[in-house]
Amino acid sequence: MMSFRALVVDKNADGTVTSSIRELEEDQLPAGDVVVNVDYSTLNYKDGLCLTGGGGLVRTYPHVPGVDFAGTVESSADARYRPGDKVVLTGWRVGEVWWGGYAEKAKVKADWLVPLPEGLTTREAMGVGTAGLTAMLAILALEEHGLSPDRGPVLVTGATGGVGSVATALLAARGYEVAAVTGRAGSEAYLKELGAGRIVPRADLAEISKRPLESESWAGAIDNVGGAMLARLLGQMKYGASVAAVGLAGGVQLPATVIPFLLRGINLLGIDSVMQPVARREAAWRRIATDLPRDKLSTMTRVVRLEDIAELGPAILKGEVRGRVVVAVR
Ligand code: NDP
């Protein structure tokens, strides 16, 4: 039996969590009906939690994190996939409850896979990854609720992060004016290169306003931050506009009033990428493959090795990782 390399997280006797790169045997893989030779995985905020034991996401150890991956089917007990097929996996709690993509091999349910979208390489698909798929799901939800480029600027919070970077590039490519909120000094040139029309300092939205309604500024918003920032921007939306709530990088509370809902008819749209039905995922990937400019994807992506991940996990939790990090697994 061939062994393969994996990044394995262990819980120590003192309760701390550490990771190391180890050789595993194929019979150690969990139950599943498709074995995938993983080319690339990525680093997402949730991976940071799984690598450090945060958020209570990982229940059993030893554990292989990596909430997404792209690769080639090695063997399949399911008629939908054959050896040689290129596939992508995001969500379904893979990398949290199930072993994930930080390994040369993964064994998963066929239901969790989607075929690699036409026009994307496995590396490009992971440049997008969970973060980018989520950005696209947010844009689809906003457009289904009436957003179009002629309505006015769209606010993206946590803009230099993974979701924020892909959202900025996707929106700009579609003709939207993007207002990018960032707390990161020196990131103006990066965000403008992705297509942001203007930069909003994080400090402008960091605290809740005394007034529940402020001037109507945004035709839509993709919020990766939550907390006071989400509460604040609700009061700045144009009449009838929608906010896609994606993330919690700034907190889980929502210290808001109901006034923007009642007086301006705004909508708060919850975005979940994890349990999203397959048909919706495929539609989102198709839009990504056609809309996302590949030069912008290169601008926001850097490729690292499995060995680099232990250090990057804590960094993404501190908001110190810019754009998308692709992990070359083999
Ligand atoms: P990143 O860490 O790459 O990006 C988060 C960004 O938020 C940072 O880059 C930073 O941007 C900003 N930020 C960080 N800390 C704070 C803070 N305290 N206050 C205000 N802004 C802050 O993460 P991802 O892009 O991968 O994910 C973004 C969020 O979306 C996370 O909370 C993640 O859990 C969530 N998520 C949700 C999904 C879903 O299905 N709903 C799927 C994927 C992610 P800047 O420096 O530019 O201000």
Please give the DSSP secondary-structure letter assigned to residue 97. Answer: T
Rounded distance from Cα 107 to ligand 1 centre (Å): 29
Atom of ligand 1 at shortest range from CA of 91 = 40
Q: Is the CB of 316 under 6 A from ligand 1?
A: yes
Cα 89 to Cα 135: distance, rounded to the nearest angstrom: 16
Atom of ligand 1 at shortest range from CA of 320 = 9
| Domains of the chain and CATH, by start | 3-116+296-328 (3.90.180.10), 130-270 (3.40.50.720)
Element (H, E) at 123: helix 122-144
Residues 6+ apart with CB under 8 A from 328: 39, 40, 123, 303, 304, 305
Cα 76 to Cα 36: distance, rounded to the nearest angstrom: 9
Give the residue-averaged pLDDT of 255-272. Answer: 98
Q: Is the CB of 76 under 6 A from ligand 1?
A: no
Cα dist from 323 to 162, 164, 326, whole Å:
5, 8, 10
Mean pLDDT of the chain: 97
Give the pLDDT band of residue 1 (cuts 50, 70, 90). Answer: low
Name which residue sits closest to atom 7 of ligand 1, judged by CA.
158
pLDDT digits (tens, 9 = 90+) for 76-98: 999 999 999 999 999 999 999 99
pLDDT above 90 as % of the chain: 98
Is residue 35 helix, strand or coil?
Answer: strand
What angle is formed at CA 226 by the lines to CA 165 and CA 299, rounded to 5 degrees? 5
Q: Is the CB of 232 under 6 A from ligand 1?
A: no
pLDDT digits (tens, 9 = 90+) for 162-179: 999 999 999 999 999 999
What local confidence, expressed as pLDDT, does residue 95 receive?
98
Atom of ligand 1 at shortest range from CA of 180 = 47
